[in-house]
Amino acid sequence: MSRVYIHEFIDIIGNQRAKYLHHMTANWGPVGRAERDQLCFGVWGVVGSTGAWPQVVNLWEYESWEALASNFEFELSSVSMQDPSLEEWWNVAASLRRGGVDRILVAPDWSPSIDELCAERQPDGGAAAAAGYCHELVGCRRGAATELLESVRSHGLPAYAEAGLSLVGAFVRAMADDDEVVLIWSFDSWSMWGAFEHSHSAVATWREEIAERVTSWERILLTDAEFAPLRTGRQPQEGDRRPFDEF
């Protein structure tokens, strides 16, 4: 295990989701990258028919535990538990969201970094942006999450590939009981996703094989924010910013 991530489920106030997506990518992404060596892995809107709504999923990448610790030190050095220089940013963010739930995740070496995924989406990389994503939250029996990740690598990857889905990220939840895995898969078209849900025999067979390790399995669908790296092939830039009244 190497890279560490902050995974966030964010509950949005009313119809503010488009503004929040922009605030997190164009308005925050360049700041986090410059001040904290934090990379935006993904910012997605949850497809409401498949999960809570209106909701957003954010995923931030750090190269190590040391990098995440430095981020926390930077953020929490003030008695307010917030970076004072970001007071205006926080005030805007607070007006768009009402709360959320975060997790710390760790990725195995074979799970791609955001730089690797973006390289595939460069003009010479040959990959187009995905139509959407399957986000799977997998509960495991105590102590089985790391073991389950190995099964994802050896058997899950080819099973999903047979259905046309590609791995975006595989993670185990840290600071817990080794009992939760997060998997994110991309699909190229909505018809491909529909066919996967209608008949994904290879995945179903694999899930039967690992059933004794699993206690729950929830899949929701996500779509990229406008300036999410998986859509653009790059990190959000200051030049992406525009006024909220344009949303």
Using alpha carbons only, what angle is made at residue 217 by residues 210 and 182, rounded to the nearest 5 degrees? 90
The number of angstroms, rounded, from the C-alpha of 164 to the middle of its chain's C-alpha atoms is: 20
Cis peptide before 108 (omega within 30 of 0): no
Q: Is the pTM of this model over 0.85?
A: yes
Eight-state DSSP code of residue 112: P
pLDDT, one tens digit per residue, over 150-190 is: 999 999 999 999 999 999 999 999 999 999 999 999 999 99
Q: What is the mean pLDDT of each run of 10 residues along the chain (247 residues)?
A: 92 97 97 95 98 97 97 83 77 94 98 96 63 98 97 97 96 97 98 92 94 97 97 96 83
CA distance 235 to 229: 5
pLDDT, one tens digit per residue, over 46-62 is: 999 999 999 999 999 99
Which of 21, 8, 118, 121 has its CA nearest to residue 60? 8
CA distance 214 to 23: 36
Rg (C-alpha) for the chain, rounded Å, is 18
